[in-house]
Amino acid sequence: MTSRTLAVVTAGLRQPSSTRLLADRLSAATVDELSSRGFTVSSTVVELRDYAHDITNHLLTGFSSPPLRSVVDGVVAADGLIMVTPIFTASISGLFKSFADMLDDGTLAGKPVLIAATGGTARHSLALDHAMRPLMSYMRAVTIPTGVYAAPEDWSASAPESSSAALSARIRRAAAELAEEVARRETKPPADPFELTTTFEDLLRGE
């Protein structure tokens, strides 16, 4: 049986975190979709909160602590990514953006990514499309069309059934889209930043 890896990055800050909750549902749905296509899937969740100091230190020094290094290596090596952030002050969270800032150029290029967010009000849902999607485009990730945004009414026990059902439907659709992209790509090793990509003769010729 063929295997695939998923990395789930979540930038929620509280315990329990609705961002983590959404990440878990997206992850489970994607694993189901891939399993039904005959893949064995290993999925890893990264809580950025656990690495908040290390991420700041990376911004200051330019290198990662060994624990953060292995997190980044895992994200960069995964066949598919699920990125989930809370929306703070009209945009993705600073912690999530700082994590994105420390990824080397091109390390997400061609990688299927599902973007998702949680927020205190449904009015911020477009932050996914005006902040998260352009960020992933810049990193040349392959962002799947469905972004999943969850507002308080989607979770609440008193929510109208249509609202939580709609969230479940969006999760399923997004998971199916991500699984499709992950399934049709071969697993490939991540780029090595130390690899020499040119010959010295080419460099001398200015190429």
Partner 1 sequence: MQFGIFTVGDVTPDPTNGRVPSEAERIQAMVTLALKAEEVGLDVFATGEHHNPPFVPSSPTTMLGYIAARTERLLLSTATTLITTNDPVKIAEDYAMLQHLAAGRVDLMMGRGNTGPVYPWFGQDIRNGIALAVENYALLHRLWREDVVDWKGRLRTPLESFTSTPRPLDGIPPFVWHGSIRSPEIAEQAAYYGDGYFANHIFWPKEHTQRMVGLYRQRFEHYGHGSADQAIVGLGGQVFMREKSQAAVDEFRPYFDNAPVYGHGPSLEEFTSQTPLTVGSPQQVIDRTLSFRDYVGDYQRQLFLVDHAGLPLKVVLEQMDMLGEQVVPVLRREFAALKPAHVPEAPTHESLKRAATVGS
Backbone angles phi, psi at 83, to 5 degrees: -115, 120
Considering the rule CB under 8 A, would residue 62 count as an interface residue with partner 1? yes
Q: Closest approach of Cβ 77 to partner 1, in Å?
A: 16
Task: Report how far apart, in Å, the C-alpha atoms of 65 and of each of 61, 108, 135, 136, 175 are.
Answer: 10, 20, 25, 24, 32
Nearer to partner 1, 58 or 133 (CB): 58
Considering the rule CB under 8 A, would residue 109 count as an interface residue with partner 1? no
Ramachandran area for residue 110 (φ above 0: left; ψ -120 to 50: alpha; else beta): left
Residue from 16, 66, 145, 189 touching partner 1 (CB under 8 A): that is: 66
The verdict on whether omega for the bond into residue 16 sits within 30 degrees of 0, i.e. cis, is: yes
Strand 3-10 versus strand 148-150 pairing type: unpaired
Q: Closest approach of Cβ 96 to partner 1, in Å?
A: 20
Listed ranges 86-94, 129-137, 163-171, 195-203: which one lies at the site for partner 1 (CB under 8 A): 195-203
Q: Report how far residue 157's alpha carbon sits from residue 13's, in angstroms, rounded to the nearest whole number.
A: 22
DSSP 185: S
Asked if 34 and 183 count as a contact pair (C-beta separation under 8 A), the reply is yes
Q: Closest approach of Cβ 141 to partner 1, in Å?
A: 23
Nearer to partner 1, 67 or 110 (CB): 67
Asked if 96 and 85 count as a contact pair (C-beta separation under 8 A), the reply is yes
Nearer to partner 1, 61 or 158 (CB): 61
Considering the rule CB under 8 A, would residue 138 count as an interface residue with partner 1? no
Listed ranges 61-69, 125-133, 158-166, 177-185: which one lies at the site for partner 1 (CB under 8 A): 61-69
Considering the rule CB under 8 A, would residue 60 count as an interface residue with partner 1? yes
Listed ranges 36-44, 137-145, 163-171, 196-204: which one lies at the site for partner 1 (CB under 8 A): 196-204
Considering the rule CB under 8 A, would residue 61 count as an interface residue with partner 1? yes
Q: Report how far residue 23's alpha carbon sits from residue 81's, in angstroms, rounded to the nearest whole number.
A: 11
Q: Which of 154, 82, 151, 163 is nearest to 123 (CA)?
A: 151
Considering the rule CB under 8 A, would residue 57 count as an interface residue with partner 1? yes
Nearer to partner 1, 61 or 89 (CB): 61
Q: Which residues bind partner 1 (CB under 8 A)?
A: 56-57, 60-63, 65-66, 193-196, 198, 200, 203-204, 206
